[in-house]
Amino acid sequence: MSQVQVLVGTKKGAFLLAADGTRQRWEIQGPLFSGWEMYHLKGSPADPNRIYASQTSGWFGQIIQRSDDGGRTWFTPGGETLPDPYSPPAGASNRFVYDTSPETGRPLTTHQGYDGTQHPWTFKRVWHLEPSLDDPDTVYAGVEDAALFRSTDGGRSWHELAGLRGHETGAQWQPGAGGLCLHTILLVPGNPERLFVAISAAGAFRSDDGGRSWQPINRGLKSNFLPDPDATVGHCVHRIALHPARPNVLFMQKHWDVMRSDDAGDSWREVSGNLPSDFGFPIVVHAHEPETIYVVPIQNDSEHFPPEGRLRVYRSRTGGGDWEPLTNGLPQRHCYVNVLRGAMAVDRLEPCGVYFGTTGGQVYASADAGDHWQAIAEHLPAVLSVEVQTLP
């Protein structure tokens, strides 16, 4: 029987939640790296034992960890092996190499602000790790301030794909409330040259040449907080998602508005439909039904809690427009948690499992595509990310 492992990153460490294919009884391992902010953990599709993890600390900075045995032991590629997953790294480091601008050939060591002045560029943390679909040693990292890195040696060294940060619109990018973060990276099965990324607050971008050059894909987005609501860049995109069987169809949860593209991002249309609020952070696609998507609406951009204090996941089986609330097993009174952009995921079992974590420290799971929910962890630190491994 297949197994499921849920990788949970929190404000104070990481947790691994494991169950068999019935997904009814769960074992919890953790906290791993307690006290560290674990922004993202993700397993390699090419190796079920390989997991990458991003951890950061105000004292020790940013570190990428790696496990080659499913999370039992960890080490820092390029640094020292850790004796156990509960200890902070000592003297460990990863090598990040800033690249040169493809336009000028000069090192991209500064960033031009709105005032036209150059500011020293550095990144604060790794928001998102996206392992290659077919090579366990290749992995992408999206960072804050917004830039994209790639490692081809299992995380020992990271080289910037400078065409993104060197894009001609870079001076118009601005930080969202969470910072100027590259928080989403999407890879396309069978087409390694195509990549999608999303940046808050710049928008969505696509590369068709393996990350060397990029184009904004924001036509159809409208943001009233911008001087030009229909601008090419500057939109606060919270998350984008696709189904691997239909990689030209993209779904987006934006700062207001749920959006859909049927042409790989060349144009977008709103599919918020009958949602009680079209503000939220995560959006995911059902593993087997490309037209079934999930969002978690919250009140608005200043009140980050569910409308009416009722925690409801909304599902559309029509690719947006028509939405149904999923509430069975979720708190429907006095619930004021939030679900962050990286804190929702699906598994590949049948029926499809859906998972999300909250800022209140709960992790909820549904083994029947959202019809029924159970809390599989409670009283954790605030959840930053949720990913799922479906294991043989």
Quote the percentage of the chain above a pLDDT of 90.
Answer: 81
Helix (H, G, I), strand (E, B) or coil at 309: helix
Write down the H helix ranges in the chain: 162-165
Burial of 302 (0-12, 13-18, 19+ CB in 10 A): exposed
The token pair at 91 is: 């003297």
Note whether 56 and 127 are within 8 A (CB): no
Between CA 218 and CA 261 the distance in angstroms is: 10
pLDDT at residue 171, as a whole number:
84
Start-to-end CA distance of the chain, whole Å, equals 7
pLDDT at residue 263, as a whole number:
98
Cα 89-139-157 angle, rounded to 5 deg: 55
Between CA 71 and CA 96 the distance in angstroms is: 24
The one-letter amino acid code at 214 reads: W
Domains and CATH numbers, the chain: 1-93+378-392 (no CATH), 95-377 (2.130.10.10)
The per-residue pLDDT for range 308-364, each reduced to its tens digit, is: 999 999 999 999 999 999 999 999 999 999 999 999 999 999 999 999 999 999 999
The per-residue pLDDT for range 267-294, each reduced to its tens digit, is: 999 999 999 999 999 999 999 999 999 9
Between CA 118 and CA 112 the distance in angstroms is: 4
The token pair at 149 is: 């890195």
Note whether 182 and 199 are within 8 A (CB): yes
Q: Which residue has the tokens 């000028």?
A: 104
Strand duo 354-357 + 344-346: pairing: antiparallel
Quote the percentage of the chain above a pLDDT of 70.
Answer: 90
Model pTM? 0.93
Phi, psi of 162 (to 5 degrees): -75, -15
Note whether 142 and 183 are within 8 A (CB): yes
The per-residue pLDDT for range 175-228, each reduced to its tens digit, is: 988 899 999 999 999 999 999 999 999 999 999 999 999 999 999 999 999 999
Q: Is the bond preceding 276 in cis, omega lying within 30 degrees of 0?
A: no
The token pair at 165 is: 């940060």
Between CA 198 and CA 250 the distance in angstroms is: 12
Q: Which of 63, 70, 85, 241 is nearest to 143 (CA)?
A: 63
